Amino acid sequence: MVVILFRSRLTAEAGDDYHHMAAEMLETAREMPGFIEYKAFRADDGERISVIWWKDMETLAAWRNHPPSRGAKSRARPLVRKLQH
């Protein structure tokens, strides 16, 4: 099993379009072979963490290379600030 943790904060430009796109992306992921589970958490200060479980690296790679996933990620980049340590 592979677990992905994604820390982020939405920018001021993110709006309903972002939330709609994120919901579509999650629905597509749920239909992909190897998808196990998704959970998201939001802190009071706006920081978000998403936890995504995949069966293995191969199914995660299939998701990363899936055209709808790649297109949505490129549209989301200006709307989401990744947080790293």
Q: What is the mean pLDDT of the chain?
A: 82
CA torsion sign for 50, 72, 82, 3 is positive
Catalogue all structural domains in the chain, each as residue range(s) with its CATH number.
2-82 (3.30.70.100)
pLDDT tens digits, residue range 20-45?
Answer: 888 888 999 999 999 999 999 999 99
What token pair was written down for 59? 């199914």
Longest dimension (CA), the chain: 35
Q: Is this prediction's pTM over 0.85?
A: no
Contact 76, 21 (CB under 8 A): yes
Q: Is the pLDDT of residue 75 over 70?
A: no
